[in-house]
A and B are shown apart, each in its own frame.
Chain A
Amino acid sequence: MSATALPSSAASRRRARLPSGTLGLGIGTLWLSIIVLLPLSAVVARAFDGGLSTFWDAVSNRQAVSALTFTVGVSIVAAAVNAVMGTLLAWVLVRDRFRGKGLVNAFVDLPFALPTIVAGLTLLALYGPRSPIGVNVAFTQFAVLLALLFVTMPFVVRAVQPVLIEIDREMEQAALSLGASNGTVFRRIILPNLVPALLSGAALAFARAVGEFGSVILISGNIPFQTQVSSVYAFKLIESDAPISAAAVSTVLLAISLVVLIGIRGLGRWGARHDR
Protein backbone atom coordinates (compact mmCIF):
# COMPACT_ATOMS: atom_id res chain seq x y z
CA MET A 1 0.00 0.00 0.00
CA SER A 2 1.57 3.28 -1.05
CA ALA A 3 2.14 5.89 1.58
CA THR A 4 -0.25 8.30 -0.04
CA ALA A 5 -3.17 5.91 -0.37
CA LEU A 6 -6.22 7.08 1.51
CA PRO A 7 -8.01 4.61 3.75
CA SER A 8 -10.89 2.90 2.06
CA SER A 9 -14.26 4.45 2.61
CA ALA A 10 -15.37 1.42 4.56
CA ALA A 11 -12.46 1.77 6.95
CA SER A 12 -13.00 5.47 7.39
CA ARG A 13 -16.61 4.89 8.20
CA ARG A 14 -15.46 2.79 11.13
CA ARG A 15 -14.82 5.30 13.90
CA ALA A 16 -11.23 5.59 15.06
CA ARG A 17 -10.76 2.91 17.73
CA LEU A 18 -8.65 4.24 20.51
CA PRO A 19 -7.86 2.12 23.57
CA SER A 20 -11.09 3.35 24.95
CA GLY A 21 -12.48 3.72 28.38
CA THR A 22 -15.69 1.79 27.92
CA LEU A 23 -14.11 -1.64 27.90
CA GLY A 24 -12.12 -0.74 30.97
CA LEU A 25 -15.14 0.65 32.68
CA GLY A 26 -17.13 -2.50 32.14
CA ILE A 27 -14.49 -4.95 33.15
CA GLY A 28 -13.23 -2.81 35.98
CA THR A 29 -16.66 -2.39 37.47
CA LEU A 30 -17.36 -6.09 37.17
CA TRP A 31 -14.07 -7.00 38.75
CA LEU A 32 -14.47 -4.55 41.61
CA SER A 33 -17.98 -5.76 42.22
CA ILE A 34 -17.08 -9.41 42.37
CA ILE A 35 -13.86 -9.06 44.29
CA VAL A 36 -14.65 -6.16 46.61
CA LEU A 37 -18.26 -5.08 46.74
CA LEU A 38 -19.95 -8.43 46.88
CA PRO A 39 -17.92 -9.81 49.77
CA LEU A 40 -18.18 -6.58 51.74
CA SER A 41 -21.93 -6.44 51.33
CA ALA A 42 -22.07 -9.99 52.64
CA VAL A 43 -20.43 -8.72 55.80
CA VAL A 44 -22.89 -5.91 56.29
CA ALA A 45 -25.83 -8.12 55.47
CA ARG A 46 -24.76 -10.83 57.89
CA ALA A 47 -24.19 -8.29 60.61
CA PHE A 48 -27.89 -7.58 60.65
CA ASP A 49 -28.93 -11.19 60.13
CA GLY A 50 -30.21 -11.43 63.64
CA GLY A 51 -31.92 -8.09 63.58
CA LEU A 52 -30.97 -4.71 64.92
CA SER A 53 -30.85 -5.75 68.54
CA THR A 54 -28.41 -8.60 67.91
CA PHE A 55 -26.24 -6.20 65.98
CA TRP A 56 -26.35 -3.74 68.79
CA ASP A 57 -25.48 -6.37 71.38
CA ALA A 58 -22.52 -7.49 69.35
CA VAL A 59 -21.03 -4.03 69.09
CA SER A 60 -21.96 -2.62 72.44
CA ASN A 61 -20.89 -5.35 74.79
CA ARG A 62 -18.04 -4.53 77.13
CA GLN A 63 -15.31 -6.31 75.28
CA ALA A 64 -16.29 -4.94 71.90
CA VAL A 65 -16.47 -1.41 73.23
CA SER A 66 -13.20 -1.76 75.06
CA ALA A 67 -11.47 -3.07 71.95
CA LEU A 68 -12.94 -0.33 69.79
CA THR A 69 -12.09 2.55 72.10
CA PHE A 70 -8.58 1.23 72.54
CA THR A 71 -8.16 0.72 68.80
CA VAL A 72 -9.41 4.16 67.84
CA GLY A 73 -7.48 5.80 70.63
CA VAL A 74 -4.15 4.22 69.90
CA SER A 75 -4.64 4.77 66.17
CA ILE A 76 -5.22 8.46 66.72
CA VAL A 77 -2.05 8.67 68.79
CA ALA A 78 -0.10 6.77 66.15
CA ALA A 79 -1.41 9.04 63.41
CA ALA A 80 -0.60 12.14 65.44
CA VAL A 81 2.93 11.05 66.31
CA ASN A 82 3.57 10.12 62.71
CA ALA A 83 2.17 13.44 61.58
CA VAL A 84 4.93 15.19 63.48
CA MET A 85 7.77 12.72 62.93
CA GLY A 86 6.74 12.04 59.35
CA THR A 87 6.83 15.74 58.53
CA LEU A 88 10.21 16.00 60.22
CA LEU A 89 11.56 13.07 58.26
CA ALA A 90 10.16 14.47 55.02
CA TRP A 91 11.79 17.82 55.79
CA VAL A 92 15.17 16.24 56.36
CA LEU A 93 14.85 14.12 53.22
CA VAL A 94 13.93 17.11 51.05
CA ARG A 95 15.95 19.98 52.48
CA ASP A 96 19.00 18.36 54.01
CA ARG A 97 21.99 16.73 52.37
CA PHE A 98 23.99 13.91 53.84
CA ARG A 99 25.60 10.68 52.81
CA GLY A 100 23.16 7.82 52.67
CA LYS A 101 20.14 10.04 52.19
CA GLY A 102 19.08 8.07 49.13
CA LEU A 103 19.23 4.88 51.13
CA VAL A 104 17.11 6.30 53.93
CA ASN A 105 14.63 7.58 51.38
CA ALA A 106 14.29 4.14 49.84
CA PHE A 107 13.96 2.47 53.24
CA VAL A 108 11.05 4.66 54.24
CA ASP A 109 8.94 2.40 52.05
CA LEU A 110 10.03 -0.72 53.95
CA PRO A 111 6.85 -0.92 56.06
CA PHE A 112 4.90 -1.00 52.81
CA ALA A 113 6.95 -3.89 51.48
CA LEU A 114 7.47 -5.93 54.63
CA PRO A 115 4.82 -8.44 55.71
CA THR A 116 3.07 -7.28 58.87
CA ILE A 117 3.80 -10.49 60.74
CA VAL A 118 7.50 -10.01 60.09
CA ALA A 119 7.27 -6.39 61.21
CA GLY A 120 5.72 -7.54 64.48
CA LEU A 121 8.41 -10.14 64.94
CA THR A 122 11.23 -7.63 64.46
CA LEU A 123 9.72 -5.25 66.98
CA LEU A 124 9.29 -8.10 69.41
CA ALA A 125 12.93 -9.03 68.98
CA LEU A 126 14.20 -5.56 69.86
CA TYR A 127 11.57 -4.41 72.33
CA GLY A 128 10.32 -7.70 73.79
CA PRO A 129 11.38 -10.17 76.46
CA ARG A 130 14.67 -11.03 74.79
CA SER A 131 15.61 -7.46 74.01
CA PRO A 132 19.36 -6.92 73.72
CA ILE A 133 18.98 -3.37 75.03
CA GLY A 134 16.86 -4.33 77.99
CA VAL A 135 13.72 -2.62 76.75
CA ASN A 136 10.69 -4.84 77.18
CA VAL A 137 7.30 -3.39 76.31
CA ALA A 138 5.67 -6.62 75.15
CA PHE A 139 2.08 -7.18 76.23
CA THR A 140 1.54 -3.51 76.97
CA GLN A 141 -0.59 -0.94 75.21
CA PHE A 142 2.62 0.83 74.25
CA ALA A 143 3.58 -2.26 72.25
CA VAL A 144 0.49 -1.82 70.12
CA LEU A 145 1.38 1.82 69.57
CA LEU A 146 4.89 0.81 68.55
CA ALA A 147 3.59 -1.67 65.99
CA LEU A 148 1.19 0.90 64.56
CA LEU A 149 3.93 3.50 64.35
CA PHE A 150 6.02 1.05 62.35
CA VAL A 151 3.41 0.12 59.78
CA THR A 152 2.06 3.65 59.28
CA MET A 153 5.40 5.43 59.18
CA PRO A 154 5.58 5.97 55.40
CA PHE A 155 2.14 7.50 54.99
CA VAL A 156 2.78 11.02 56.20
CA VAL A 157 6.34 11.11 54.85
CA ARG A 158 5.23 10.19 51.34
CA ALA A 159 2.26 12.55 51.47
CA VAL A 160 4.30 15.56 52.57
CA GLN A 161 7.44 14.99 50.52
CA PRO A 162 6.07 15.96 47.09
CA VAL A 163 4.46 19.09 48.50
CA LEU A 164 7.71 20.14 50.13
CA ILE A 165 9.55 19.55 46.90
CA GLU A 166 7.06 21.61 44.92
CA ILE A 167 6.78 24.49 47.33
CA ASP A 168 7.83 27.82 45.88
CA ARG A 169 11.13 28.63 47.62
CA GLU A 170 10.71 32.23 46.59
CA MET A 171 7.69 32.51 48.89
CA GLU A 172 10.03 31.71 51.76
CA GLN A 173 12.63 34.18 50.52
CA ALA A 174 9.96 36.83 50.12
CA ALA A 175 8.88 36.26 53.71
CA LEU A 176 12.49 36.52 54.88
CA SER A 177 12.98 39.76 52.96
CA LEU A 178 9.90 41.13 54.73
CA GLY A 179 11.49 40.51 58.08
CA ALA A 180 10.13 37.12 59.15
CA SER A 181 12.25 34.84 61.30
CA ASN A 182 12.82 31.23 60.27
CA GLY A 183 10.21 30.10 62.77
CA THR A 184 7.66 32.53 61.37
CA VAL A 185 8.43 31.42 57.84
CA PHE A 186 7.81 27.82 58.79
CA ARG A 187 4.67 28.58 60.76
CA ARG A 188 2.98 31.03 58.39
CA ILE A 189 4.29 30.10 54.97
CA ILE A 190 5.44 26.49 54.81
CA LEU A 191 3.12 24.74 57.24
CA PRO A 192 -0.16 26.12 55.85
CA ASN A 193 0.84 24.76 52.47
CA LEU A 194 1.67 21.38 53.96
CA VAL A 195 -1.44 20.96 56.06
CA PRO A 196 -3.78 19.36 53.48
CA ALA A 197 -1.21 16.74 52.48
CA LEU A 198 -0.26 16.22 56.10
CA LEU A 199 -3.84 15.62 57.15
CA SER A 200 -4.40 13.30 54.20
CA GLY A 201 -1.40 11.24 55.12
CA ALA A 202 -2.38 11.16 58.76
CA ALA A 203 -5.93 10.14 57.91
CA LEU A 204 -4.68 7.29 55.74
CA ALA A 205 -2.34 6.27 58.54
CA PHE A 206 -5.26 6.28 60.94
CA ALA A 207 -7.40 4.13 58.65
CA ARG A 208 -4.58 1.65 58.27
CA ALA A 209 -3.88 1.60 61.98
CA VAL A 210 -7.49 0.93 62.93
CA GLY A 211 -7.53 -2.27 60.90
CA GLU A 212 -4.00 -3.44 61.61
CA PHE A 213 -3.67 -7.09 62.56
CA GLY A 214 -0.46 -8.93 61.72
CA SER A 215 2.06 -6.62 63.39
CA VAL A 216 0.02 -6.37 66.56
CA ILE A 217 -0.78 -9.95 67.41
CA LEU A 218 2.66 -11.13 68.46
CA ILE A 219 3.82 -8.18 70.51
CA SER A 220 0.60 -7.16 72.23
CA GLY A 221 -0.44 -10.45 73.73
CA ASN A 222 -3.99 -9.61 72.67
CA ILE A 223 -5.11 -9.28 76.27
CA PRO A 224 -8.85 -8.62 76.30
CA PHE A 225 -9.81 -5.28 77.82
CA GLN A 226 -6.18 -4.21 77.76
CA THR A 227 -4.24 -4.73 74.59
CA GLN A 228 -6.80 -6.30 72.33
CA VAL A 229 -7.61 -4.38 69.16
CA SER A 230 -10.87 -4.67 67.25
CA SER A 231 -9.42 -6.66 64.37
CA VAL A 232 -8.09 -9.27 66.79
CA TYR A 233 -11.42 -9.32 68.60
CA ALA A 234 -13.18 -9.92 65.30
CA PHE A 235 -10.71 -12.69 64.49
CA LYS A 236 -11.47 -14.34 67.82
CA LEU A 237 -15.16 -14.16 67.07
CA ILE A 238 -14.61 -15.82 63.72
CA GLU A 239 -12.63 -18.58 65.34
CA SER A 240 -15.29 -19.12 67.99
CA ASP A 241 -17.83 -19.55 65.21
CA ALA A 242 -19.77 -16.37 65.93
CA PRO A 243 -20.05 -15.00 62.42
CA ILE A 244 -22.84 -12.57 63.11
CA SER A 245 -20.95 -10.87 65.93
CA ALA A 246 -17.79 -10.89 63.86
CA ALA A 247 -19.70 -9.33 60.99
CA ALA A 248 -21.15 -6.69 63.28
CA VAL A 249 -17.76 -5.64 64.62
CA SER A 250 -16.38 -5.71 61.09
CA THR A 251 -19.20 -3.47 59.92
CA VAL A 252 -18.19 -0.88 62.46
CA LEU A 253 -14.59 -1.05 61.27
CA LEU A 254 -15.79 -0.79 57.69
CA ALA A 255 -17.82 2.28 58.51
CA ILE A 256 -14.78 3.95 60.05
CA SER A 257 -12.72 3.19 56.94
CA LEU A 258 -15.39 4.64 54.68
CA VAL A 259 -15.74 7.83 56.69
CA VAL A 260 -11.98 8.35 56.63
CA LEU A 261 -11.75 7.70 52.89
CA ILE A 262 -14.50 10.19 52.17
CA GLY A 263 -12.77 12.69 54.43
CA ILE A 264 -9.51 12.27 52.55
CA ARG A 265 -11.20 12.96 49.22
CA GLY A 266 -12.66 16.11 50.64
CA LEU A 267 -9.27 17.12 51.96
CA GLY A 268 -7.81 16.71 48.51
CA ARG A 269 -10.24 19.17 47.03
CA TRP A 270 -9.87 21.61 49.91
CA GLY A 271 -6.10 21.49 49.57
CA ALA A 272 -6.15 22.40 45.89
CA ARG A 273 -8.40 25.42 46.34
CA HIS A 274 -5.59 27.96 46.08
CA ASP A 275 -3.85 26.42 43.14
CA ARG A 276 -3.73 27.85 39.65
Chain B
Amino acid sequence: MITVRDVTKHFGTFAALDGISLEVPDGSLTALLGPSGSGKSTLLRVIAGLEGPDSGSVEINGQDATGVPPQRRGIGFVFQHYAAFKHMTVRDNVAFGLTVRKLPKGQVKGKVDELLGIVGLSGYQDRYPNQLSGGQRQRMALARALAVEPRVLLLDEPFGALDAKVRTELREWLRVLHERVPVTTILVTHDQEEAMSVADRIVVMNEGHIEQVGHPRELYDAPANQFVMGFLGPVSRLGERFVRPHDISVDSVPVDGGVQALVTRVVHLGFEVRAELRIDGEESVSVQLTRDDAHRLDLAPGEIVWLRPPRDERVLDVA
Protein backbone atom coordinates (compact mmCIF):
# COMPACT_ATOMS: atom_id res chain seq x y z
CA MET B 1 0.00 0.00 0.00
CA ILE B 2 1.29 3.42 -0.93
CA THR B 3 -0.02 6.40 0.97
CA VAL B 4 0.53 9.94 -0.23
CA ARG B 5 -0.45 12.60 2.31
CA ASP B 6 -0.97 16.23 1.46
CA VAL B 7 1.95 16.50 -0.96
CA THR B 8 2.73 19.89 -2.44
CA LYS B 9 5.44 20.61 -5.02
CA HIS B 10 6.29 23.90 -6.66
CA PHE B 11 8.64 24.60 -9.52
CA GLY B 12 9.34 28.27 -9.05
CA THR B 13 5.92 29.82 -8.87
CA PHE B 14 4.24 26.98 -10.71
CA ALA B 15 2.32 24.60 -8.43
CA ALA B 16 2.77 21.15 -9.93
CA LEU B 17 1.13 19.40 -7.00
CA ASP B 18 -1.27 21.09 -4.60
CA GLY B 19 -2.00 19.15 -1.46
CA ILE B 20 -2.39 15.72 -3.04
CA SER B 21 -3.54 12.79 -0.92
CA LEU B 22 -3.90 9.32 -2.34
CA GLU B 23 -3.91 5.65 -1.41
CA VAL B 24 -2.74 2.96 -3.81
CA PRO B 25 -3.78 -0.56 -2.80
CA ASP B 26 -1.37 -3.49 -2.94
CA GLY B 27 -1.26 -5.40 -6.18
CA SER B 28 -3.39 -2.91 -8.08
CA LEU B 29 -2.64 -1.41 -11.46
CA THR B 30 -3.43 2.26 -11.00
CA ALA B 31 -3.33 4.84 -13.75
CA LEU B 32 -2.57 8.50 -13.12
CA LEU B 33 -4.49 10.10 -15.93
CA GLY B 34 -4.52 13.74 -16.93
CA PRO B 35 -3.45 16.34 -19.47
CA SER B 36 0.07 17.83 -19.69
CA GLY B 37 0.85 19.92 -16.67
CA SER B 38 -1.64 18.09 -14.48
CA GLY B 39 1.14 16.93 -12.17
CA LYS B 40 0.85 13.23 -12.83
CA SER B 41 4.52 12.71 -13.76
CA THR B 42 5.60 14.89 -10.85
CA LEU B 43 3.53 12.79 -8.47
CA LEU B 44 5.07 9.63 -9.84
CA ARG B 45 8.56 11.01 -9.35
CA VAL B 46 7.77 12.14 -5.83
CA ILE B 47 6.64 8.59 -5.06
CA ALA B 48 9.85 7.34 -6.63
CA GLY B 49 12.03 9.73 -4.71
CA LEU B 50 13.40 11.31 -7.87
CA GLU B 51 11.81 14.56 -6.71
CA GLY B 52 11.36 15.74 -3.16
CA PRO B 53 8.02 17.26 -2.13
CA ASP B 54 7.92 20.75 -0.63
CA SER B 55 5.56 19.43 2.03
CA GLY B 56 3.61 16.29 2.77
CA SER B 57 4.68 12.68 3.11
CA VAL B 58 4.92 9.44 1.20
CA GLU B 59 4.53 6.06 2.88
CA ILE B 60 5.43 2.78 1.23
CA ASN B 61 4.14 -0.35 2.94
CA GLY B 62 3.62 1.46 6.20
CA GLN B 63 7.11 2.96 6.35
CA ASP B 64 7.72 6.65 5.89
CA ALA B 65 9.67 7.02 2.68
CA THR B 66 9.64 10.80 2.44
CA GLY B 67 13.32 11.43 3.04
CA VAL B 68 14.53 8.14 1.63
CA PRO B 69 16.56 8.36 -1.63
CA PRO B 70 15.33 6.42 -4.66
CA GLN B 71 18.02 3.80 -4.29
CA ARG B 72 16.47 2.52 -1.08
CA ARG B 73 12.75 2.74 -1.74
CA GLY B 74 12.42 -0.61 -3.42
CA ILE B 75 10.89 0.83 -6.55
CA GLY B 76 11.20 0.02 -10.21
CA PHE B 77 10.95 2.89 -12.68
CA VAL B 78 10.33 2.78 -16.40
CA PHE B 79 10.85 5.93 -18.48
CA GLN B 80 9.09 7.13 -21.60
CA HIS B 81 12.30 7.15 -23.60
CA TYR B 82 13.55 3.87 -22.13
CA ALA B 83 16.69 5.29 -20.45
CA ALA B 84 18.56 2.24 -21.72
CA PHE B 85 22.22 2.01 -20.72
CA LYS B 86 23.36 2.31 -24.27
CA HIS B 87 26.92 1.25 -23.58
CA MET B 88 25.82 -2.08 -22.06
CA THR B 89 24.33 -5.21 -23.59
CA VAL B 90 20.74 -6.22 -22.94
CA ARG B 91 21.96 -8.76 -20.43
CA ASP B 92 24.06 -6.18 -18.54
CA ASN B 93 21.17 -3.73 -18.60
CA VAL B 94 18.76 -6.18 -17.03
CA ALA B 95 21.41 -7.44 -14.63
CA PHE B 96 22.40 -3.96 -13.47
CA GLY B 97 20.27 -3.79 -10.34
CA LEU B 98 21.35 -7.28 -9.39
CA THR B 99 25.06 -6.58 -9.81
CA VAL B 100 24.68 -3.43 -7.73
CA ARG B 101 23.34 -5.70 -4.97
CA LYS B 102 26.39 -7.90 -5.49
CA LEU B 103 24.48 -11.10 -6.14
CA PRO B 104 26.54 -14.11 -7.25
CA LYS B 105 27.09 -14.33 -10.99
CA GLY B 106 25.28 -17.61 -11.53
CA GLN B 107 22.20 -16.34 -9.75
CA VAL B 108 22.27 -13.15 -11.78
CA LYS B 109 22.47 -15.02 -15.06
CA GLY B 110 19.56 -17.23 -14.14
CA LYS B 111 17.36 -14.32 -13.15
CA VAL B 112 18.23 -12.37 -16.28
CA ASP B 113 17.41 -15.28 -18.55
CA GLU B 114 14.14 -15.85 -16.71
CA LEU B 115 13.09 -12.23 -17.02
CA LEU B 116 14.05 -11.97 -20.67
CA GLY B 117 11.86 -15.00 -21.20
CA ILE B 118 8.95 -13.32 -19.46
CA VAL B 119 9.23 -10.18 -21.58
CA GLY B 120 9.80 -12.10 -24.78
CA LEU B 121 13.39 -11.12 -25.41
CA SER B 122 15.09 -14.50 -25.03
CA GLY B 123 18.13 -14.71 -27.24
CA TYR B 124 18.71 -10.96 -27.22
CA GLN B 125 21.15 -11.07 -24.31
CA ASP B 126 24.16 -9.92 -26.28
CA ARG B 127 22.52 -7.23 -28.34
CA TYR B 128 22.97 -3.56 -27.65
CA PRO B 129 20.01 -1.21 -27.15
CA ASN B 130 20.71 0.54 -30.42
CA GLN B 131 20.05 -2.75 -32.17
CA LEU B 132 16.56 -3.06 -30.69
CA SER B 133 13.26 -1.51 -31.77
CA GLY B 134 11.46 0.94 -29.48
CA GLY B 135 9.05 -1.69 -28.26
CA GLN B 136 11.88 -4.11 -27.53
CA ARG B 137 13.82 -1.48 -25.63
CA GLN B 138 10.82 -0.77 -23.45
CA ARG B 139 10.33 -4.44 -22.72
CA MET B 140 13.99 -4.60 -21.77
CA ALA B 141 13.46 -1.61 -19.49
CA LEU B 142 10.58 -3.43 -17.82
CA ALA B 143 12.65 -6.56 -17.34
CA ARG B 144 15.41 -4.40 -15.85
CA ALA B 145 13.00 -2.79 -13.41
CA LEU B 146 11.42 -6.10 -12.42
CA ALA B 147 14.78 -7.78 -11.87
CA VAL B 148 15.22 -6.16 -8.48
CA GLU B 149 11.81 -7.39 -7.35
CA PRO B 150 10.47 -3.95 -6.53
CA ARG B 151 7.60 -3.39 -4.16
CA VAL B 152 6.21 -0.83 -6.55
CA LEU B 153 6.51 -0.55 -10.31
CA LEU B 154 6.30 3.00 -11.64
CA LEU B 155 5.79 3.64 -15.34
CA ASP B 156 6.08 7.17 -16.76
CA GLU B 157 4.14 7.28 -20.05
CA PRO B 158 5.90 4.07 -21.03
CA PHE B 159 4.29 3.72 -24.44
CA GLY B 160 4.31 7.38 -25.41
CA ALA B 161 7.29 7.12 -27.72
CA LEU B 162 6.05 4.08 -29.63
CA ASP B 163 4.03 3.59 -32.82
CA ALA B 164 0.27 3.26 -32.41
CA LYS B 165 0.24 -0.42 -33.28
CA VAL B 166 3.11 -1.29 -30.90
CA ARG B 167 1.42 0.80 -28.25
CA THR B 168 -1.74 -1.24 -28.45
CA GLU B 169 0.17 -4.51 -28.35
CA LEU B 170 2.23 -3.50 -25.36
CA ARG B 171 -0.82 -2.28 -23.45
CA GLU B 172 -2.36 -5.67 -23.70
CA TRP B 173 0.92 -7.28 -22.87
CA LEU B 174 1.33 -5.13 -19.76
CA ARG B 175 -2.07 -6.22 -18.53
CA VAL B 176 -1.11 -9.86 -18.99
CA LEU B 177 2.25 -9.27 -17.33
CA HIS B 178 0.58 -7.69 -14.35
CA GLU B 179 -1.60 -10.74 -13.92
CA ARG B 180 1.47 -12.92 -14.02
CA VAL B 181 3.67 -10.69 -11.82
CA PRO B 182 1.18 -8.87 -9.61
CA VAL B 183 3.38 -6.11 -8.21
CA THR B 184 1.72 -2.83 -7.24
CA THR B 185 1.92 -0.77 -10.41
CA ILE B 186 1.33 2.90 -11.08
CA LEU B 187 1.11 4.04 -14.69
CA VAL B 188 1.17 7.66 -15.85
CA THR B 189 -0.64 8.42 -19.09
CA HIS B 190 -2.50 11.20 -20.87
CA ASP B 191 -4.37 8.69 -23.03
CA GLN B 192 -7.78 7.85 -21.56
CA GLU B 193 -8.12 4.81 -23.77
CA GLU B 194 -4.88 3.46 -22.39
CA ALA B 195 -5.96 4.08 -18.82
CA MET B 196 -9.36 2.52 -19.36
CA SER B 197 -8.02 -0.59 -21.06
CA VAL B 198 -5.10 -1.34 -18.77
CA ALA B 199 -5.83 -0.07 -15.27
CA ASP B 200 -8.18 -1.35 -12.62
CA ARG B 201 -8.13 2.00 -10.86
CA ILE B 202 -7.84 5.45 -12.41
CA VAL B 203 -6.80 8.65 -10.68
CA VAL B 204 -7.85 11.62 -12.79
CA MET B 205 -5.63 14.65 -12.22
CA ASN B 206 -5.85 18.23 -13.35
CA GLU B 207 -3.70 21.26 -12.49
CA GLY B 208 -2.09 19.65 -9.48
CA HIS B 209 -5.32 18.28 -7.99
CA ILE B 210 -7.02 14.93 -7.98
CA GLU B 211 -10.42 15.23 -9.62
CA GLN B 212 -11.68 11.71 -9.05
CA VAL B 213 -10.49 8.22 -8.17
CA GLY B 214 -12.26 5.03 -9.16
CA HIS B 215 -12.79 2.05 -11.36
CA PRO B 216 -12.76 2.92 -15.08
CA ARG B 217 -16.44 2.19 -15.46
CA GLU B 218 -17.32 4.27 -12.43
CA LEU B 219 -15.49 7.26 -13.80
CA TYR B 220 -17.05 6.94 -17.20
CA ASP B 221 -20.61 6.43 -16.01
CA ALA B 222 -20.58 8.61 -12.91
CA PRO B 223 -18.02 11.36 -13.39
CA ALA B 224 -17.65 13.75 -10.47
CA ASN B 225 -17.42 16.85 -12.64
CA GLN B 226 -17.33 18.21 -16.14
CA PHE B 227 -13.56 17.86 -16.44
CA VAL B 228 -13.55 14.14 -15.67
CA MET B 229 -16.49 13.56 -17.92
CA GLY B 230 -14.88 15.41 -20.81
CA PHE B 231 -11.52 13.79 -20.35
CA LEU B 232 -12.77 10.24 -20.34
CA GLY B 233 -15.10 10.39 -23.26
CA PRO B 234 -17.23 12.48 -25.58
CA VAL B 235 -19.72 14.90 -24.03
CA SER B 236 -22.84 16.53 -25.39
CA ARG B 237 -24.70 19.34 -23.75
CA LEU B 238 -28.46 19.03 -23.75
CA GLY B 239 -30.08 22.05 -22.15
CA GLU B 240 -28.76 22.26 -18.62
CA ARG B 241 -27.15 18.85 -18.62
CA PHE B 242 -24.05 17.07 -19.87
CA VAL B 243 -24.78 13.73 -21.46
CA ARG B 244 -22.86 11.06 -23.40
CA PRO B 245 -23.74 11.28 -27.09
CA HIS B 246 -24.56 7.59 -27.26
CA ASP B 247 -26.93 7.86 -24.28
CA ILE B 248 -29.23 10.31 -26.04
CA SER B 249 -32.40 8.67 -27.41
CA VAL B 250 -33.45 9.80 -30.84
CA ASP B 251 -37.08 9.49 -32.04
CA SER B 252 -38.75 10.48 -35.24
CA VAL B 253 -42.00 11.32 -33.41
CA PRO B 254 -42.57 13.69 -30.48
CA VAL B 255 -42.03 12.08 -27.09
CA ASP B 256 -42.52 13.04 -23.47
CA GLY B 257 -39.62 15.11 -22.17
CA GLY B 258 -38.11 15.25 -25.58
CA VAL B 259 -36.79 18.30 -27.34
CA GLN B 260 -37.09 19.06 -31.03
CA ALA B 261 -33.91 19.21 -33.10
CA LEU B 262 -32.84 19.60 -36.73
CA VAL B 263 -30.31 17.20 -38.21
CA THR B 264 -27.50 19.19 -39.83
CA ARG B 265 -24.85 16.54 -40.51
CA VAL B 266 -24.62 12.77 -40.57
CA VAL B 267 -21.33 10.85 -40.63
CA HIS B 268 -21.22 7.10 -41.15
CA LEU B 269 -18.27 5.43 -39.43
CA GLY B 270 -18.97 1.85 -40.27
CA PHE B 271 -20.55 0.41 -37.15
CA GLU B 272 -21.60 3.71 -35.65
CA VAL B 273 -23.20 6.83 -36.94
CA ARG B 274 -22.55 10.32 -35.61
CA ALA B 275 -24.94 13.13 -36.20
CA GLU B 276 -24.85 16.85 -35.52
CA LEU B 277 -28.15 18.46 -34.64
CA ARG B 278 -29.32 21.95 -33.93
CA ILE B 279 -31.77 22.91 -31.16
CA ASP B 280 -33.68 26.22 -31.39
CA GLY B 281 -31.47 27.26 -34.22
CA GLU B 282 -28.51 27.78 -31.92
CA GLU B 283 -27.02 25.00 -29.89
CA SER B 284 -25.28 22.19 -31.64
CA VAL B 285 -25.52 18.70 -30.16
CA SER B 286 -23.65 15.52 -31.07
CA VAL B 287 -25.40 12.21 -31.03
CA GLN B 288 -24.07 8.70 -31.53
CA LEU B 289 -26.24 5.85 -32.81
CA THR B 290 -25.81 2.33 -34.01
CA ARG B 291 -26.02 1.73 -37.72
CA ASP B 292 -29.35 -0.04 -37.37
CA ASP B 293 -30.94 2.75 -35.34
CA ALA B 294 -29.82 5.36 -37.82
CA HIS B 295 -31.22 3.30 -40.63
CA ARG B 296 -34.52 2.78 -38.83
CA LEU B 297 -34.92 6.53 -38.34
CA ASP B 298 -33.83 7.26 -41.88
CA LEU B 299 -31.51 9.87 -40.47
CA ALA B 300 -30.48 12.56 -42.96
CA PRO B 301 -29.67 16.28 -42.89
CA GLY B 302 -32.82 18.39 -42.79
CA GLU B 303 -34.84 15.85 -40.78
CA ILE B 304 -36.65 16.86 -37.61
CA VAL B 305 -36.22 14.47 -34.70
CA TRP B 306 -36.87 14.46 -30.95
CA LEU B 307 -34.01 14.04 -28.49
CA ARG B 308 -34.43 12.63 -25.02
CA PRO B 309 -31.72 12.57 -22.34
CA PRO B 310 -31.06 9.20 -20.66
CA ARG B 311 -31.95 8.00 -17.19
CA ASP B 312 -30.92 10.38 -14.44
CA GLU B 313 -27.84 8.63 -13.20
CA ARG B 314 -26.12 9.03 -16.56
CA VAL B 315 -26.46 12.77 -16.59
CA LEU B 316 -24.39 15.55 -15.11
CA ASP B 317 -25.88 18.89 -14.26
CA VAL B 318 -24.10 21.98 -15.41
CA ALA B 319 -22.52 23.44 -12.31
Contacts and interface: CB of A to CB of B under 8 A. Distances in A.
Q: Do A and B interact directly, with beta carbons closer than 8 Å?
A: yes
Interface of A: 168, 170-171, 173-181, 184, 188-189, 192-193, 274-276
A274 B137 CA distance: 14
Contacts of B75: 177
Given A176-B70, A179-B72, A171 B85 contact: yes
B77 interface: yes
A178 B145 contact: yes
A274 B96 contact: no
Interface string B145-157: 1011000001000
B50 interface: yes
14 contacts: A170-B83, A176-B50, A176-B69, A176-B70, A177-B50, A177-B71, A177-B77, A177-B154, A178-B144, A179-B97, A180-B97, A193-B87, A274-B128, A275-B130
Nearest to A178: B97
Contact of A173 (B72, B77, B129): B77
A170 B85 CA distance: 10
Interface in B69-101: 69-72, 75-77, 79, 81, 83-87, 96-97, 100-101
Q: Is the interface of A mostly helix, strand, loop or mixed?
A: helix
Interface of B: 48, 50, 69-72, 75-77, 79, 81, 83-87, 96-97, 100-101, 128-130, 141, 144-145, 147-148, 154
Given A174-B141, A178-B100, A192-B87, 6 more contacts: A168-B86, A176-B50, A177-B70, A177-B71, A179-B72, A181-B100
Given A176-B50, A177-B145, A170 B81 contact: yes
Nearest to B74: A179
A170 B86 contact: no
* Centre residue among A168, A170, A179, A188 by max chain B CB count within 10 A: A179
A274 B130 contact: yes
Nearest to A170: B83
A192 B93 CA distance: 14
Contacts of A275: 86, 130
Contacts of A174: 77, 79, 83, 85, 141, 144
A168 B101 contact: no
A175 to B, nearest CB: 7
Contacts of B85: 171, 174-175, 189
* Centre residue among A173, A178, A179, A181 by max chain B CB count within 10 A: A178
Contacts of B83: 168, 170-171, 173-174
B71 A181 contact: yes
Contacts of B72: 179
B76 A177 contact: yes
Nearest to A192: B87
